[in-house]
Amino acid sequence: MPTFNYCPSVDSSQEESTKVLESVFGDGYSQTVPDGINSIKRVWNVSFTGSISYVNEIRDFLRLRGGTESFDWTPVGEEAGKWKCKNWSKVFPSGNVHKIRATFGEVFE
């Protein structure tokens, strides 16, 4: 399993979403339960800033996985997980400062 060993910029953010099953009854009463054992999924919107070679190295790592192969990554201050990245974008450079943004979705394999 490949490991992603790059540290994102401080403007990165995490979202969590839940997958639930809900039954709503005629009188307005409802019941909600988790859908499966991994019902909470983390998504990170990450960005990386640095030289053109650094940004291209990250892009090449993501290209090699092609959105289909998972990789290990441990977000700073969080627990490790397995992730897939299906989309990323390079930002127009400001001088010699380059940036790439990506979305990492947690997977359970």
Band of residue 28 on the pLDDT scale cut at 50, 70, 90: confident
What pLDDT is stored for residue 1 in this prediction?
85
Which three-class secondary structure string do you get for 33-72? EECCCCCEEEEEEEEEEECHHHHHHHHHHHHHHCCCCCEE
Q: Answer whether residue 7 is part of any domain.
A: no
What pLDDT is stored for residue 66 in this prediction?
97
Q: Answer whether residue 70 is part of any domain.
A: yes
Q: Which domain holds residue 69?
A: 13-107
98-109 per-position pLDDT tens digit: 999 999 999 999
Q: What is the pTM of this model?
A: 0.87
> Among all chains, which residue has been given the structure tokens 């001088």?
95
CA distance 106 to 109: 10
Q: Answer whether residue 2 is part of any domain.
A: no
Q: Answer whether residue 5 is part of any domain.
A: no
Q: Answer whether residue 1 is part of any domain.
A: no
Query: How many structural domains does the chain have?
Result: 1
48-89 per-position pLDDT tens digit: 999 999 999 999 999 999 999 999 999 989 999 999 999 999
